[in-house]
Homo-oligomer: A and B are copies of this chain.
Amino acid sequence: MKVTVGISARHVHVTREDLEILFGKDYELTKCRNINQPGQFASNEFVTVRTEKDEIAHIRILGPVRQYTQVELSKTDCIKLGLNAPIRESGDVIGSSKVTIIGPKGMIEREAGIIATRHIHVPIEDAKKLGFEGLETVSVKIPGKKGGIMYHVSVRIAENSYYEMHIDTDDANAFQIKSGEELEIFKDIQE
């Protein structure tokens, strides 16, 4: 089993309600480019994320709007911002790190800051064929001088998805992984 890697830079998802606070009434996200997951796109809209300690400007919103507002950060970002963000699956924002999100027309304060679990998107129609049926996590092997293994990579089997592994910039930089690299998957360990 092999999977192609995509590296997720820090980014934001927003609800329609929050988008309108940040960018104005009836505002719609505009598409910069499609990403591999069907229907999703990198927008032309950016926000600043601020905490008591510091801020990071120019964080891109990924569209379309979602049922939750979420800021996906790396641990490196969290250290800069003074956050102890939990490692979570996307959408699991309750009780996550409180941040202020600032747009051109307004700002919001939300429990929204997470470090996303390493994960693999698996189209439900291919889950069996690809060998993911019944698996919640897998391990992934990385070659090279700074190679190794990532344990506990979440398997997200869903309709309308594109087969791809997503890691954050910390994992990419630590292991020196490039977007588009093919990595080997095997059975996860139990701890």
Tell me the A residues contacting B by CB distance below 8 Å. Answer: 74-76, 79, 87, 115, 117-118, 139, 143, 145-152, 168-171, 173-176, 191
Most buried by B among A74, A143, A149: A149
Whether B87 contacts A169 by the Cβ 8 Å rule is no
**Complex formed: what's the CA distance from A45 to B98 in Å?**
36
Residues of B within 8 A of A151 (CB): 147-149
Evaluate contact between A76 and B76: CB separation under 8 angstroms.
yes
Known: A148-B150, A152-B146. A76 touches B173 (CB 8 A): yes
Give the distance to chain B from A10, nearest Cβ to Cβ, in Å. 12
Copies of this chain, tallied across the complex: 2
> Quick check: A76 and B139 within 8 Å, CB to CB?
no
CB distance from A86 to the nearest CB of B (A): 9
A145 to B152, CA, bound (A): 7
Residue of B145, B152, B170 near A174 (CB, 8 A) is B170
A87 to B144, CA, bound (A): 10
A176 near B145 (CB under 8 angstroms)? Answer: no
- Chain B residues, Cβ within 8 Å of A147: 151-152, 191
**Please, how many angstroms separate the alpha-carbon atoms of A25 and B191 in the complex?**
56
Report how far A173 CA is from B115 CA in the complex, Å: 11
Q: Which residue of B lies closest to A167 (CB)?
A: B174
